[in-house]
Amino acid sequence: MASIKDVAAEAGVSVATVSRVLNDHPSVSPAARATVLAAVETLGYRPNAVARSLRTDQTRTLGLVISDVLNPYFTELARSVEEEARALGYSVIIGNADERPELQDHHVRTLLDRRIDGLLVSPTDGSSPLMLDTARAGTPMVFVDRWIPGMDVPVVRADGRTAIHNLVTHLHTLGHRRLAIIAGPAATTTGSERVAAFREALQEYGLPLPDAYIGQGDFQAASGRRVTEEFLDLPEPPEVVFAADNLMALGALDAIRARGLRVPDDIALAAFDDIAWFVHTDPPITAIAQPTPELGRAAVRALVDRIEGRPPQSVTLPARLVVRQSCGEPVPPQPSPPPHSSPQRSNT
């Protein structure tokens, strides 16, 4: 592979001059520029990003550590992150933690070893010594979706409180009184916040949230299945199951179907995080939609601000309730439901 030396030789100039034209440095004569460019062309030269990074101490790369790529919410988040980063001249390397703290740390470490310019993370758990050290060491960092309380790091996230309140109102109106939730890990902010918001909303309606109606999930389908089975085995099963993410809703659906029960007649179901398939499930699922692409973009902008020396900004965007049929009261059939253009886009 041709190096800058080869180009210099071909063009009959020094490597310094080649470097200058490559970096659009102003003080290069038009003539020199032309010959260098010609040499670059004939050799098919491409600068070695590794060498450049070593020299300039910047990689123009962002690290993104998410808790689960297979979760459509995170896939969509990752996609918008990459898009915005590309628009700002950065690449992104994704690390999938699979909801496993050790794997999360592995990726953070690898990313740091590669000297990424900044780190975007949706932490798998409530605290990680490595994360603390990283922030303390001055690595530009921004939390997306989930965050670690007490750390002085900007947070970009959706607030689901109002939407959850609206959901409970919806459920209450439909006559449901025994509401249960499949929670995410209590160690994650989204895991605990959604339960808290749910509990608060229930309180406003004078509804209890007994421990038996708080199932401990881990944001994965299998846990949704397991918790739902436990709910159904209760002497007095809930009338509604609210899954704190779309994967656990999938598991809940599996469990309900396995028992030969029907939604919403036998039990109602709602989910946090909306996905395109929810329109076509049997029945269509009522869900809370996050402004995911906006979150991804805002997170990148905050991180790049931080990297480039501007003050980064925390951002909180509202989530919203999308009512469909899974909680009862069949909505009058719409002649033509608004189409969605991508599998993860929310509908309605």
Please report, as ranges, the residues that interact with DNA according to CB under 7 A.
1, 3-5, 13-20, 22-23, 26-29, 31-32, 45, 47-48, 51-52, 54-57
Residue whose CB is less far from its own copies, 266 or 282:
282
28 touches which of DNA, its own copies, none (CB within 5 to 8 A by kind)? DNA
- Residue closer to its own copies by CB (options 83, 200) is 83
The least CB distance from residue 107 to its own copies, in Å, is 9
The entry of DNA, its own copies, none near residue 279 (CB within 5 to 8 angstroms by kind) is its own copies
CA angle 34, 39, 40 (to 5 degrees): 95
63 binds its own copies (CB under 8 A): no
Q: Based on CB atoms, which residue is closest to DNA, 139 or 246?
A: 139
d(CA 232, CA 259): 9
CA distance 284 to 108: 38
**73-77 long-range contacts, Cβ below 8 Å, gap at least 24?**
73/245, 73/246, 73/273, 73/275, 73/290, 73/292, 73/344, 74/122, 74/145, 75/344, 76/292, 76/293, 76/296, 76/342, 76/344, 77/122, 77/144, 77/145, 77/292, 77/295, 77/296
CB atoms within 10 A of CB 29: 11
Rg (CA), the chain: 25
Q: Identify which range of 32-40, 180-188, 201-209, 257-265 contacts its own copies by CB under 8 A.
A: 257-265
- In the range 264-303, which residues lie near its own copies by CB under 8 A? 276-277, 279-283
For residue 296, the minimal CB distance to its own copies (Å) is 12
Cβ-proximal residues to 335 (8 Å cutoff; 6+ apart), any chain: none
Query: Which residues contact its own copies by CB under 8 A?
Result: 1, 44, 46-51, 53-54, 59, 69-72, 75-76, 78-79, 82, 86, 91, 93-94, 96, 106, 109-110, 112-115, 133, 137, 220-222, 225, 247, 250, 253-254, 257-258, 260, 276-277, 279-283, 333, 335-337, 339-344
